Amino acid sequence: MKNLSPKLSIIGCDNVGIRYAYSMIIAGVTREIVLVDYNKKS
């Protein structure tokens, strides 16, 4: 079994953030992924 890092945080849930999270899930790199998105509305 691989030695997995416990948590990955991704700030920004646009195209790049979501694709990066998806690739980390498929690769089995982490056990938990936290997605944080900050949209400032004017």
What's the domain count of the chain? 1
Residue-wise pLDDT for 11-42, tens only, equals 888 888 889 999 988 888 888 889 998 876 65
| Chain centre distance of CA 15 | 12
Say whether 19 sits in a helix, a strand or coil. helix
pTM for the structure as a whole: 0.66
Whole-number Å distance between alpha carbons of 21 and 26? 9
Which amino acid makes up residue 19? R
Domain extent for 11: 1-42
CA distance to 6, 8, 29, 41, per residue, from 3 (Å): 9, 14, 9, 41
